[in-house]
Amino acid sequence: KNQVEQSPQSLIILEGKNCTLQCNYTVSPFSNLRWYKQDTGRGPVSLTIMTFSENTKSNGRYTATLDADTKQSSLHITASQLSDSASYICVVSPNTGNQFYFGTGTSLTVIP
């Protein structure tokens, strides 16, 4: 069964601190993995997209890693800001079919 699991479910950190979010998946055959940021009441916004051959990709203070062998990905946020407070969703696409699979997200709260 194709599944995407994220941890932790929620996280509270102090402004300026770093944090790492995890995504484990069983989707196969694998095509790509995306991290999205979703503010409350808004649609998801893409942060990074990684294919099978990519191990790491950065977008500003966001760095995503991918280990396709262990089927794990992480999203590292550096020097967190209050505006980073949101849900972070991992989305995995197989290279067959038309669906993509969402994790349930990590709710991040950055406090001053």
Partner 1 sequence: DTGVSQDPRHKITKRGQNVTFRCDPISEHNRLYWYRQTLGQGPEFLTYFQNEAQLEKSRLLSDRFSAERPKGSFSTLEIQRTEQGDSAMYLCASSLDPGNYGYTFGSGTRLTVV
- Would you tell me how many other CB atoms lie within 10 Å of the CB of residue 94? 17
Nearer to partner 1, 78 or 104 (CB): 104
Q: Measured from the CB of residue 79, what is the shortest distance to partner 1 in angstroms?
A: 26
Residue pair 21/36 in contact by the 8 Å Cβ criterion:
no
Nearer to partner 1, 18 or 109 (CB): 109
Nearer to partner 1, 30 or 63 (CB): 30
Nearer to partner 1, 18 or 46 (CB): 46
Positions touching partner 1 (CB under 8 A) are 4, 31-32, 34, 36, 41-46, 49, 51, 89, 91, 93, 95, 97-100, 102-105
Q: Measured from the CB of residue 11, what is the shortest distance to partner 1 in angstroms?
A: 15
Q: Measured from the CB of residue 12, what is the shortest distance to partner 1 in angstroms?
A: 16
Pick from 111, 46, 55: which is nearest to 84 by CA? Answer: 111
